[in-house]
Amino acid sequence: MSKISGSEIVIECLKEQGVDTVFGYPGGTILNVYDALYKHQDEINHVLTSHEQGAAHAADGYARATGKVGVCMATSGPGATNLVTGIATAYMDSIPVVAITANVGVNMLGKDSFQEVDIAGVVMPITKHSFIVKHIDDLAPTIRRAFKIAKSGRPGPVLVDITKDVTAAETEYIPETPEVIERKTDTIREEDVNKVLEMIKVSRRPFIMAGGGCIISDASAELAEFADKVDAPVCDTLMGKGAFDGRSERYTGMIGMHGTKVSNLGVSRADLVIVVGARFSDRVIGNASKFAPNAKIIHIDIDAAEIDKNIPTNASIVGDAKEVLKLLNSKLAAQSNKTWMSEIEDLKKQNPDVYSFDTLNGPAAIKKIYELTEGDAIITTDVGQHQMWAAQNYTFKEPRTFLSSGGLGTMGYGVGAAIGAKYGRPDKTVINIAGDGCFRMNLNEIATAARYNVPIIQVVLNNHVLGMVRQWQTLFYDHRYSNTVLDDSVDFVKVAEGLGAMGIRANTLDEFEAAMKTALTAGRPVVIDVTIAGDDKVWPMVAPGAAIDTCFSEDDM
């Protein structure tokens, strides 16, 4: 059997895993891998981003939109460290990404060589596993193991660092068929299932909370059937958007700091809260000691470490959400909670929309995007007010259509993620919604979209301030606006044109509608600069450290 180089082995292993697209940026130590990529460019599409962070976010967006493993590459030193924010973003939201970096040769390690960084050590706390490959015979098994770790159990990012001499060395390569990843069911115990079933049967005010785990496990159909069987209302976390159809009468909206009053008050009045694939984030539960004070808690999660971590539970089932819900659905007789469902309907009537949709503001722009796309787009966001407005005002009806940095809250995430999502789902309209503060962090990736003519739509809700931070400064810091006013003269329309995209400015709702219609048919990347007021706020809101049933709107003040 003939021998091939380590660089060729990297490519063969990617092909073996079904990888069709890689996002990255070349450099000295990874040159051999890029030379092999050149020879296989008809089999693996490489997208050259403007910055390595953009490559990591693109791999993340690709993974969230498709359910497949996203792949990014970078060279040693600053190339590798520029991936760190994107890797941490994927880790916090349990997104399967494999990051491949190269390092200096084995004999140069530990000598402060040019562009040498222990990247495997750097990312250890923010990956499921990190490897450094120092011998050619370890290369193929390590890459295969990295993909298995990334997508098995609770998914997450894995980093493989390869020394340059290994990319040049040669050895025999024996192809392997990737191991089938089985769903995690061995931890589902019959006694746990029976306890949960009994708690559901005696409950009269059950509430279901869906998290990102429902999307990761493709459990939407099972979740819908479960909600009908329990006869319960359903709320979601930010990461759970789209797991449950937002058009359903059972749906009450997002829960938490900027959740709906219906969800926050409903969960606080429930006698049973069933949490599926969520981790009880502080932004969801508010004051932990006052969360759902009248309810028993059931927690279903694939990761045993999450059980009782933030909120004490009365019952739990550890396992894949889809498999757990399948089992519960097969054993649970249909319940009837008409009085409770009627109470939830009354709560909805008592708490209508808090925003005005007849003039141009963030929520009105989001509503208009929903109308024009008929709810069929993939929405990516950056982080801040616009992110909350998007979560609140675009109705998500299916999973993998809302891509946002939830756990890490990464400003600058959206453009790269939108590019990755469009490569993964070219049939979908992909729209990134950002504030001006976020957009300027990674707007260089618009150049990437223009280079490859990736027709993403970038909507910049431009209020000339760091909106969410300013909101806190208004409400909790006595209007001391320290370093949150962006009163410069950056023109995003000119920036877009300078980067090779189409730029459109919108100052009224009619202008925005016209701009969106143009963007949706343009067939090229478009940036829409949307002028909104600097003091618009996200409502409702729960003050930090307060119970979620103390949520308030502007009228309450």
DSSP state of 554: G
Give residue 354's pLDDT: 87
CA distance 39 to 30: 15
Q: Give the 3-state secondary structure of residue 246.
A: coil
CA distance 40 to 157: 25
R_g (Cα) of the chain, nearest Å: 24
Task: Quote the tokens at residue 4.
Answer: 């091939």
Query: Does the model's pTM come out above 0.75?
Result: yes
Tens digit of pLDDT for each residue in 175-208?
A: 999 999 999 899 999 999 999 999 999 999 999 9
β-strand pairing of 158-163 with 70-74 = unpaired
Whether the CB-CB separation of 217 and 321 falls below 8 Å is answered with yes
Tell me the torsion sign for CA atoms 504, 505, 506, 510: negative
Is 512 one of the annotated active-site residues of the chain?
no
Task: Quote the tokens at residue 248.
Answer: 């359903």
pLDDT band at 435 (very low <50, low <70, confident <90, very high): very high
DSSP 410-441: -TT-HHHHHHHHHHH-TTS-EEEEEEHHHHHH
CA distance 270 to 274: 10
Q: Which of 128, 151, 164, 537 is catalytic?
A: 164
Give residue 540's pLDDT: 97
Amino acid at 300: I
Q: Is the pLDDT of residue 528 over 70?
A: yes
Give residue 169's pLDDT: 97
Average pLDDT, the chain: 97
Q: Is the pLDDT of residue 557 over 90?
A: no
Name the CA dihedral angle for 462, 466, 471, 473, rounded to a multiple of 10 degrees.
-150
Q: Give the 3-state secondary structure of residue 122.
A: helix
Smallest CA-to-CA distance from 233 within 269, 257, 277 is with 269
Domains of the chain in start order, with CATH, are 3-172 (3.40.50.970), 190-350 (3.40.50.1220), 362-540 (3.40.50.970)
Give residue 353's pLDDT: 84
Tens digit of pLDDT for each residue in 402-412?
A: 999 999 999 99
CA distance 109 to 487: 47
Is 73 one of the annotated active-site residues of the chain?
no
Query: What average pLDDT score do residues 326-333 get?
Result: 98
Smallest CA-to-CA distance from 429 within 383, 478, 378 is with 378
Give residue 2's pLDDT: 81
Q: Which of 468, 502, 516, 541 is catalytic?
A: 468
Q: Is the pLDDT of residue 556 over 90?
A: no
β-strand pairing of 430-435 with 378-381 = parallel
Task: Quote the tokens at residue 328.
Answer: 């519960």
Q: Which of 12, 52, 116, 445 is catalytic?
A: 52
CA distance 379 to 414: 9
Beta-carbon neighbour count of residue 494 at 10 Å? Answer: 12
Give residue 401's pLDDT: 98
Tens digit of pLDDT for each residue in 446-462?
A: 999 999 999 999 999 99
Q: Is the pLDDT of residue 85 over 70?
A: yes
CA distance 475 to 419: 36
CA distance 419 to 446: 9
Tens digit of pLDDT for each residue in 359-404?
A: 999 999 999 999 999 999 999 999 999 999 999 999 999 999 999 9
- Exposed, middle or buried, 1 (CB in 10 Å: 0-12/13-18/19+)? exposed
Smallest CA-to-CA distance from 493 within 483, 503, 480, 507 is with 503
Beta-carbon neighbour count of residue 218 at 10 Å? Answer: 16
Give residue 1's pLDDT: 67
DSSP 58-109: HHHHHHHHHSSPEEEEE-STHHHHTTHHHHHHHHHTT--EEEEEEE--GGGT
Task: Quote the tokens at residue 345.
Answer: 């309907």
Q: Which of 114, 179, 350, 371 is catalytic?
A: 114
Beta-carbon neighbour count of residue 42 at 10 Å? Answer: 6
Q: Give the 3-state secondary structure of residue 139.
A: helix
Amino acid at 168: A
% of the chain with per-residue pLDDT over 90: 97
CA distance 149 to 397: 30
Is 115 one of the annotated active-site residues of the chain?
yes
Q: Is the pLDDT of residue 123 over 70?
A: yes
Is 468 one of the annotated active-site residues of the chain?
yes
Is 43 one of the annotated active-site residues of the chain?
no
Beta bridge partners of 70: 97
Tens digit of pLDDT for each residue in 31-62?
A: 999 999 999 999 999 999 999 999 999 999 99
Q: Which of 15, 108, 115, 225 is catalytic?
A: 115
Tens digit of pLDDT for each residue in 276-322?
A: 999 999 999 999 999 999 999 999 999 999 999 999 999 999 999 99
